[in-house]
Structure 1
């Protein structure tokens, strides 16, 4: 009986994780094709009415999104959490009377740690940080995709645009923790097992926003994120890498050639431990100077490096592992 239950649980975990991977890869494209296809069928009034609604509702993602985030509590996310498993670790208190920008690293192929810990309730963020609301900000262009945008907003996702961040940090009260995967597409291209590379040296926009709204900075590192897929890394300057960079420049995300453990798409069952570091106090400066931006940017990189080295051994890495910040 126990064996059968264990097999059923493993099946639920695999299916739950697979649906997330397939949604990440194909749901947006599928929604676009479905919208176009329906326009040439007898159901054309449905997409027509939806597009009228889309024009009316165009700014909603930048204005706090949807209030009902029922998708965040689906049990499917708990099964996905258990697949790897994924764990959220708290190292310091976050004052619910302040706002925060959490910089999450590394991006990995799909940011499984960031999504599970901050866009679902499966890892217990609310219990670990009472009074603080986590909001994961993703590529703004995804909120222009019909139907997909509603699904994204239901999970509590937000565009990583200036207007959206300004709303979350100034018009939504206190206790907001906006999570940004700082390295983005450039960092995803460096994702590979055994690699601990983060792209942040030239990424200062999040620091400027933190200063403008007086939001404290918090470094976050997801140990194991780069281990769940194997990626083909093309050499700098090669034709394949140039094509990847061109696509990234045009579309905002990079096409990665990767493979998982089963059926290519199912990730390796490698533990992911997302560690939330100590907040870096940031003053409010409506017009921050470059010197101020550089100062807090250095403090952030130092905090990220310290977080990595303090927790790497307990999270499965050897003492010899180094963090490369580029």
Structure 2
């Protein structure tokens, strides 16, 4: 076979080859074969790619409109009830939905004698349905510690009351007349003690006995309302007096200490000091804060005596109850 015949046969095979090449496969796979054919034909006619591109763009058919369908989930309906713009139209009851149908296809049941027009103000609360809220929600529980009229009954779970913060039962019910007579009974002058600086006081055991007489043992108690605050030589802590499961009063207890070994006893003394101050609100030993009683008691039951320090020989005056002037070391009577 000559060279001319070989070239002619190769040319004939190329003309008869209708198999698509890689470029044709890529064009057909992207869906642009028709546009590519039009562009090629136009170029052979006009020899201008820009003119062909604008012509193909004009002749191209418009893209059909796409309709989007969104499924409304159930939680979106519940959230829509809280939006202002959603209150003007009724919301379909999700509980009426069947398993095989969309929630958007369910219409709200019509009620006889009721209007479906929403409120004029979009922020106005929507009318409450006829179904009572108590049927779907549990009854509202009163928070522990909130003031309310005392009905004589204790709380169902008293241990749930946080007495470090709660004011439960304060001022809700007065004591009985018998308890009032016990609490307001005048103190016996023989029970009153005197400090060397002239301050009169009632021992803390007298307050406890009066509370036991009025309310009975286990009918009252002291609870701390904070942590212990320790200073250089002073310790303090806040306490509250609880009677029959009700808050009565709170006070700051204070006591002195002089060494680290005496700190536990000083902390316990804070409780007694706070009890004495809390009992003022119950009227126990209220005479000790009455200036008239204090002047009368000092005149009839107290005396001032000179004492001397044994070591330094310094002299000063101390107050004692009459007939009970017994100085404690290192002091002695002059």
TM-score range, shorter chain: under 0.3
Q: Which has the larger radius of gyration?
A: 2
With normalisation by structure 2, the TM-score equals: 0.20
Higher RCO, 1 vs 2 (CA within 8 Å, ≥6 residues apart):
1
Q: Which has the higher helix share?
A: 1
